[in-house]
Structure 1
Amino acid sequence: MALKISDECINCDVCEPECPNTAISQGEEIYEISPDKCTECIGHYDEPQCQQVCPVDCIQLDPAIVESPDQLMQKFIRLMKV
């Protein structure tokens, strides 16, 4: 699954620089995660770095975008070729 930032986000700016895929950006009101770029840090780290640094625990799995670890690894490989 891709990750999603909930409306509990306080715009603290700590998650954006931690994303190795540059999947996090400032939205109209809160930060947003691009599901096309989010690999849950597979290929880079053992755990999603944005979740590790979020002080309000507002970054969760997006149930609308279900992806297996293999699919996330394929996305990582595709992103690294760009």
Structure 2
Amino acid sequence: MAIKITEECINCGACEPECPNNAIYEGGAQWAISDKTSVSGTFVLMDGTVVDVNQRFPALADDTYYIVPNKCTECQGFHEEPQCASVCPVDCCIPDTLYQETVEQLMAKKEALHP
């Protein structure tokens, strides 16, 4: 499953540079699949929607950092554990139960983001 940042976030920003998929954004910032990834063309979102990788989407949170589930792979294929959670000083990076994914699905997403 993806990781989410809870409302306990103190906006320290420690998590953002640790994400190998650039799935973490500052509150209020728009996001795109292509941000700091090597993907080009189109991308299939978790809900099956096909989007242009450069399409900008509205922020998922305005007041705290947030994680884009469509880009989060729980660091599978990069690290032993989610790096955001390992560096968070207030332990607000937790599993997001809304997005249940297998290791195989997470690895497939990683390969799609970094072809």
TM bucket normalised to smaller = over 0.9
More helix by share: 1
What letter is aligned with 1:12?
A: C
Residues 47-81 of structure 1: per-residue CA shift (max 9 Å, x gap): 11000000000011001110011100000010002
Instruction: Look up the match of 1:14.
Output: 14
Q: Does 1:46 align with 2:80?
A: yes
Structure 2 unaligned residues grouped into runs of 5+: 28-61
Q: Which of structures 1 and 2 has the bigger CA Rg?
A: 2
What letter is aligned with 1:48?
A: P
Equivalence map 1:19-34=2 (5 Å) = 19-27=19-27, 28-34=62-68
Scaled by the length of structure 1, the TM-score of the pair is: 0.96
Structure 1 unaligned residues grouped into runs of 5+: none
Scaled by the length of structure 2, the TM-score of the pair is: 0.69
2:105 alignment partner, SS class: helix
Q: Provide the rounded CA distance (Å) in 1 between the counterparts of 2:100 and 2:85.
A: 18
Instruction: Look up the match of 1:58.
Output: 92
What letter is aligned with 1:36?
A: N
Q: Provide the rounded CA distance (Å) in 2 between the counterparts of 1:30 and 1:77.
A: 28
Aligned length: 81
Equivalence map 1:68-79=2 (5 Å) = 68-79=102-113
Q: Provide the rounded CA distance (Å) in 1 between the counterparts of 2:100 and 2:83.
A: 19
C-alpha RMSD over aligned residues: 0.5
- Deviation, 1:29, is 0.2
